[in-house]
Structure 1
Amino acid sequence: MGVSLKDIAERAGVSLATVSNVVNGYRPVGERTRQRVQQAIDELGYTPNLSARHLRRGRTGLIALAIPELTNPYFAELAEIAIREAGRLGYTLVMENTASAYEAEMSLLSGAQRHVIDGLIFSPVRVGRDEVLARASDTPLVLIGEEVYDAPYDHIAIDNVAASRLAVRHLVALGRRRIAFIGARVDDDRQAAHLRLRGYREALAEAGLPFRPELVAVTAQFGRRDGVRAMRDLLALDEPPDAVFGYNDLIAIGALRAVTEAGRAVPADVAVVGIDDIEEGRFGTPSLTTIAPAKEEIARLAVHRLVARIEGTAVAGPLTLQTPFRLIERESTVGAADGAVR
């Protein structure tokens, strides 16, 4: 037979109610008492029946993370952290890959899975502010990503403009003067691209450098191939760039490939910076200088805010939380250092 809460109460010398409060987190319990209960739990090998607990509360115990690109390492790394954090809070996280499709995003936004999941962490690409504001579903929602929605939902993001300024300032400080941007968009469906372009332009103006439209490359998507194609075009200019800022690390990695194929040296001829700090960038040759968002904090905040909404314990209204970021200098801008992976 399995271990019961009564068994734990007897072992710890406390009431059944106290054990229930510790196991379910209903109300504060004194630290010494909590430790005594936890010791009894460990000694007896008690494992809570999370499914039964969620059902008693009218929940499924499932939350979803909806992302636009499952193959993008940034989202894969973010998902791994979120899965771990959700499990720590007693929830199972399931993945939804929208493939950046408007219909898939609208289906999730409208609550098509409301009978299956208790809440949704959502990184939209195609749906905009109007669709988010018009949402009728009462399934708890937390938004992640860099779009600006100004909607009544918790939103976790980085400051794209400031992050881009930091990347370009780094290149300017290295003496680069013809700095290109790869990953611009001509439409309005990817607001983050416009914000990062704005930060790029602000940093140029701050440094007294002219904005050169020919150094801004529009891409169809945001992958390695897009970086390769755009970089080839930039290198074919009469006055090619001496530095490149990529919309993300994947584009920057593609740009590195094109520079190498053209027989140019990195960073001597062309310095390259990305955003995301994906693992691939750390181990390439050369390794990639990048703006690193606090992925651990983004995932942790998203999961905790969602669970707080589900369980009714959120102590504040909808919040827009901007997480920190930092510049990690690697070989693609400063050359070989001590050889350590950073």
Structure 2
Amino acid sequence: MGVSLKDVAQRAGVSVKTVSNVVNNYPHVTPHMRAKVQQAIDELGYRPNLTARHLRKGRTGIIALAVPELGNPYFAELAGAVIDAAARYDYTVLVDHTAGLREQEVLVSQGFRSHVIDGLILSPIHLEAEDLTGRDETAPLVLLGEREYEAPYDHIAIDNVAAAREAVRHLLSIGRRRIAFIGSRTGRERQPAHLRLRGWREELVAAGLEPDENLVAATDGYGRVDGATAMAALLDRGERPDAVFAYNDLIAIGAMRTLTERGLIVPDDVAVVGFDDIEESRFGAVTLTTISPDKQAIARLAVESLVERLAGHRAEPLRARPGYRLLVRESTSTGGPAAKAVRTGHRQDLAAPG
């Protein structure tokens, strides 16, 4: 027989209700009483039956996270952060893969697996606001990613335009003027690539420079091959930039490979800034300067939002803006790898590379 709440209550000399309050982490328990109950829990080896707890509340104890591409390190790292955040609320995370296809994103958002999940965290690429109109699925939905939506759902995203401007401002501060943008996309103006391109343009204009649209290179995808191909296309048509701001780290890494193959030195000939701060950006032959979204905050806010919705504590849509940092590494620094600047907004500290 397993240890019950009653057993713990008898050992601690308190009521079953008090034990339940401690186990469920309710705030209105004195520190002394909480410590007394916790000691009894530890002595008896009590483990709560999470399945039964969720079922009593009409829940499954499972939330879903749907991302475009599990092979992309950014989404893999984000998934890990969501799993850790959900564990603090005794939730299990079901990770789904949409392949960035609109029809899959619509299917997931409309409750494809609603019979097994309590809520959904969705990071879409091509989903449109009209796809969410008339959504009758009762499971709460939280949208991630920098794409903007005018829809009554919680949305958590960093400020793409401001982050892009920070990246370009850094390149300008080290004397670069022919700054290319690699990773533009066709489609709606509210896609993340358009927002980052907008930040590129705005910062150049703010510096008194005319954005050179010949230095904008589109990509078909978001990977290393796409970055390498786009960088080669720029060079082949005679557009030699002195800096590159890439849509993401994978594109930046691909671009740096092409630059090396063409005999150009990063950062002396061409400085490079990426976006996402994936682990790979810290371990290349030339470490990558990048915009680092606060993935832990994104995950925490997403899970907390679902938990609050499920508890009925909030009705109005949440619009959260997690922070980001510009991490300056070797791809934009000619001063050697000993120490690099780490910027957060207008703040600047010293940090070891990575």
Q: Is the 8 A contact 1:22 1:29 kept in 2?
A: yes
Alignment of 1:103-252 (within 5 A): 103-188=103-188, 191-252=191-252
Give the whole-Å Cα distance in 1 for the aligned partners of 2:137 and 2:17.
36
Partner of 1:326: 325
Gaps of 5+ in 2: 340-351
Pair 1:68-2:44 in alignment: no
Q: Is the 8 A contact 1:266 1:333 kept in 2?
A: yes
Alignment of 1:35-114 (within 5 A): 35-114=35-114
Give the whole-Å Cα distance in 2 for the aligned partners of 1:2 and 1:189.
57
Give the whole-Å Cα distance in 1 for the aligned partners of 2:157 and 2:38.
36
Instruction: Name the SS for the 1:120 alignment partner.
Output: strand
Q: Give the superposition deviation at 1:231.
A: 0.6
Give the whole-Å Cα distance in 1 for the aligned partners of 2:145 and 2:168.
21
Q: Which has the higher contact order (CA 8 A, sep 6+)?
A: 1
Partner of 2:9: 9
Give the whole-Å Cα distance in 1 for the aligned partners of 2:133 and 2:192.
19
Q: Is the 8 A contact 2:214 2:239 kept in 1?
A: no
Give the whole-Å Cα distance in 2 for the aligned partners of 1:189 and 1:167.
20
Partner of 1:257: 257
Q: Is the 8 A contact 1:69 1:75 kept in 2?
A: yes
Q: Give the superposition deviation at 1:70.
A: 0.5
Alignment RMSD (CA, Å): 1.4
Runs of 4+ in 1 over 4 A off after TM superposition: none
Q: What is the one-letter code of the residue matched to 2:8?
A: I
Give the whole-Å Cα distance in 2 for the aligned partners of 1:103 and 1:304.
28
- Give CA deviations for 1:274-298 in whole Å, capped at 9, x if unaligned: 1100000000110000011101100
Q: Is the 8 A contact 1:125 1:189 kept in 2?
A: no
Q: Is the 8 A contact 2:215 2:239 kept in 1?
A: no
Instruction: Name the SS for the 1:274 alignment partner.
Output: strand
Decide which moves more: 23-32 or 161-170.
23-32
Give the whole-Å Cα distance in 1 for the aligned partners of 2:274 and 2:189.
21
- Give CA deviations for 1:225-262 in whole Å, capped at 9, x if unaligned: 00000111122233410000000111001111111111
Q: Give the superposition deviation at 1:9.
A: 0.8
Q: Give the superposition deviation at 1:300.
A: 0.8
Give the whole-Å Cα distance in 2 for the aligned partners of 1:133 and 1:274.
35
Partner of 1:317: 316
Percent identity over the alignment? 60
Q: Give the superposition deviation at 1:29.
A: 1.5
Instruction: Name the SS for the 2:41 alignment partner.
Output: helix
Q: Give the superposition deviation at 1:27.
A: 6.0
Instruction: Name the SS for the 2:264 alignment partner.
Output: coil
Instruction: Name the SS for the 1:46 alignment partner.
Output: coil
* Corresponding pairs, count: 341
Give the whole-Å Cα distance in 2 for the aligned partners of 1:240 and 1:119.
48
Give the whole-Å Cα distance in 2 for the aligned partners of 1:297 and 1:135.
27
Gaps of 5+ in 1: none
Give the whole-Å Cα distance in 2 for the aligned partners of 1:168 and 1:42.
54
Instruction: Name the SS for the 1:180 alignment partner.
Output: strand
Q: What is the one-letter code of the residue matched to 1:86?
A: A
Q: Is the 8 A contact 2:145 2:157 kept in 1?
A: yes
Give the whole-Å Cα distance in 1 for the aligned partners of 2:35 and 2:275.
43
The two structures have a TM-score, normalised by structure 2, of 0.93
Decide which moves more: 16-25 or 186-195.
186-195
Q: Give the superposition deviation at 1:189.
A: 8.1
Q: Is the 8 A contact 1:249 1:277 kept in 2?
A: yes
Give the whole-Å Cα distance in 2 for the aligned partners of 1:203 and 1:32.
56
